[in-house]
Amino acid sequence: METNGIRREIERILAGLDRERYPQTHELLSGIVSAENGDFPGRYDLAASLAARDARVPMDKTVFDLTVRLFLAEIEDGKVEAMNDLGALYYEGRGCEQDFGKAVYYYNMAAERGHKAAQENLGYCYYYGRSGEVDYEKAFHCFALGAFEGYLISLYKIGDMYQNGYYVKKNEAEAFRIYRRCLETMSDKAAERIAGPVYLRLGDAFLSGKGTEPDAKSALICYQNAERFLFDMVNGGDVMYKKSLQAAVDGQAKARAALTETLPKTKWLDGKKD
- Sorted by where each begins, the domain ranges of the chain are 1-77, 78-145, 157-262
At a CB cut-off of 8 Å and minimum separation 6, what does 265 contact? none
pLDDT for 273:
57
Given this model, what pLDDT does residue 152 score? 93
pLDDT of residue 95: 87
Q: Which CATH architecture has domain 157-262?
A: Alpha Horseshoe (1.25)
The per-residue pLDDT string of the chain (274 residues; one tens digit each, 9 = 90 and over) reads: 577 788 899 999 999 999 999 999 999 999 988 876 556 788 999 999 999 999 889 999 999 999 999 999 999 999 999 999 999 999 999 889 999 999 999 999 999 999 999 999 999 999 999 978 899 999 999 999 988 888 999 999 999 999 999 999 999 999 999 999 999 999 999 999 999 999 999 999 999 999 999 999 999 999 999 999 999 999 988 888 999 999 999 999 999 999 999 888 776 555 555 5
CATH, domain 78-145, list 3.30.360.10, 2.60.120.1140, 1.10.20.10, 1.25.40.10: 1.25.40.10
Q: How far is CA 156 from the centre of its chain?
A: 13
pTM: 0.84
The pLDDT score that the predictor gives to residue 234 is 94
Chain-centre distance of CA 95, in angstroms? 17
Instruction: Quickly list DSSP for 186-221.
Output: --HHHHHHHHHHHHHHHHHHHHHTSSS---HHHHHH
Element (H, E) at 123: helix 116-128
Q: Give the per-residue pLDDT at 38.
A: 55
Q: Do domains 78-145 and 157-262 have the same CATH topology?
A: yes
Quote the pLDDT of residue 149: 85
